[in-house]
Amino acid sequence: MPDRATDAVPDIPGRPGATRATYADAAEATDILPAAAGVPYPSRTAAPSRGSRATPEPGSEATPRPDSRAASRQGSQARRASGSSAMPAPSSLDGSADDGEDAALPYGVPGKPLARGPFLWGLTAALGVLTAWALAQALISSRSVIVLIVVAAFLAVGLNPVVEALQRRGMNRRWAISIVFLGVIAFFVLFGLAIVPPVSQESSDFVSAVPGYVQSLMANPTIKQLDTDYKILANIQTYITSGGLGATVAGGILGAGAVVLDAFFSGFTLLVLTLYFLGSLPVIKEYLLLLVPASRRPRTRAMGDEILSGIGGYVAGNVLISVIAGGLSWLFLTIAGAKYALALALVVAVTDLIPLVGATVGAVLVSAVGFLQSGTLGIACVIFFVVYQQVENYVIYPRVMSRSVDVAPAVSVIAALFGGALLGAVGALLAIPVAAAVALIVREVVLPRQARL
């Protein structure tokens, strides 16, 4: 009578003599080493359980076999020695699963993806560098526009206290903005009317006086000797007749026209941006506060209001000091009998807006014009501006600026130097209120945090 155990489990093709113990060993190995290759194993009901090995069926002979744990350890060691870490699935014992895998993957199992490979990493880094370079070039190309926006925002913040003062007197904000803006336009119109006619008159007078200057030079013995030695007049005549002078003059006129047109366009754009910023300043403030966490909004609002009030006070104080300088200069030049006293006084007022060096530049320009008119007037201008600058630096400026910005003198000088190096006169004008804002943030945020550490 044949054995029931061997009849129940037929021989495996290619592996004669494999009985129920083969499946039991595979099940034991499944308990010890989970499926690492990702191939689903058959359920435990498909193979005899560990208990079935302990209790053989009646009539079957117990087949001695080595310990399954030792066999699994030997098998894992053999796989490591052969370089394979995947355990063969029991379903591949008959060879059908291997044939299916070979048919689906004729070139073998694919490896890990190259998502973190060196090529893709280098490509990503190169794209990041190119993006940063493109952004930097875009910022450099739009530098003039950025400067206009910053200056317009600065002027809007500086004019806002005047608008709020008119609002406190019962005036609507739109009407207050209109009045302030009309005052700004009137200042620019007055400045143009005071500067353009004298410049035009002096230019025409100079052109008319050129022939007389030439005759005076030719009457000089030194000039005659130089003309005899180096043929100066002949060379000048050749240069004029060859067309070089015409091309130079035409190029100069076109360049001057382009500069004037660009200045007019920039001024108009600045006025429009200032008007928009001044009208929407409360909305901009509320929108920027929405970007702050809700728990920090009250403190941020208080600090922001203090910074804006400081900037507004600085602009108002600087304008007041410039008006005082221009008014006193106009009064002195009128009494001294200088030509174009109003135009020179406006030059002093505008240059006085620039911190540190603006008053000196205006004084030098006006004194030079005074020396051109007469030596006595020039000396009087030098004495007046030296005395006035001492009064302004030690009396007027401290009293006016003490209520707006609280910045140490050394910090003001350093900030003005850095601002002038970065953005020229505009940077020097913006440097002191920016330094005051940074000092406020350091005093209210950084220092308390350091004290708690």
CB distance 98 to 106 below 8 Å: no
Give yes or no for residue 79 having a pLDDT over 70. Answer: no
**How large is the average pLDDT for residues 343-355?**
86
Residue 32: per-residue pLDDT: 46
Residue 64: pLDDT over 60: no
435-445 pLDDT per residue, tens: 888 888 888 88
User: Rounded mean pLDDT of the chain?
Assistant: 74
* Res 250: pLDDT: 59
Confidence of residue 392 (pLDDT cuts 50, 70, 90): confident
- Inform me whether the pLDDT recorded for 387 exceeds 90: yes
Residue with more model confidence, 401 or 8? 401
Q: What is the mean pLDDT of residues 380-396?
A: 90
Select the more confidently predicted residue: 194 or 150. 150
Distance (Å, rounded) from C-alpha 419 to C-alpha 30? 74
- Whole-angstrom CA distances from 22 to 45, 119, 123, 435 are 15, 47, 52, 84
Over residues 17-26, the mean pLDDT reads: 48
Q: Residue 114: pLDDT band by 50, 70, 90 thresholds?
A: low
pLDDT in tens, 118-144: 777 888 889 999 999 999 998 888 888
Q: Please give the average per-residue pLDDT across 23-45, as a whole number.
A: 46
Question: 333 vs 95, which has greater pLDDT?
Answer: 333
Tell me how far apart the alpha carbons of residues 152 and 277 are, in angstroms, rounded to a whole number: 7
Q: What is the mean pLDDT of residues 38-65?
A: 45
Confidence band (pLDDT; 50, 70, 90) for 153? confident
Q: What was the pLDDT predicted at 379?
A: 92
Lowest mean pLDDT among 65-74, 185-194, 220-229, 415-424: 65-74
Smallest Cα–Cα separation from 191: which of 425, 349, 319?
A: 349
Residue 395 has pLDDT above 90, yes or no: no
Confidence class of residue 103 from pLDDT cuts 50, 70 and 90? low
CA gap 427, 415 in Å, rounded: 9
pLDDT at 42 over 50: no
Mean pLDDT within 198-204? 75
Q: Are 84 and 3 in contact (CB under 8 A)?
A: no
- Is the pLDDT at 280 greater than 70? The verdict is yes
pLDDT for res 43: 45
Residues 295-301 have a mean pLDDT of 89
Could you report how far apart the first and last alpha carbons of the chain are, in Å?
90
pLDDT reported for residue 98:
55
Indicate whether 375 pLDDT > 70. yes
Higher pLDDT, 255 or 197: 197
For the stretch 202-253, pLDDT in tens is 777 776 776 777 677 667 777 777 777 777 766 776 666 665 556 666 566 6
Q: Which two tokens stand for residue 376?
A: 């006595």
pLDDT of residue 438: 85
Among residues of the chain, what percentage have pLDDT more than 90? 8
Two structure tokens written together for 400: 């006016």
Higher pLDDT, 78 or 353: 353
For residue 78, the model assigns a pLDDT of 52
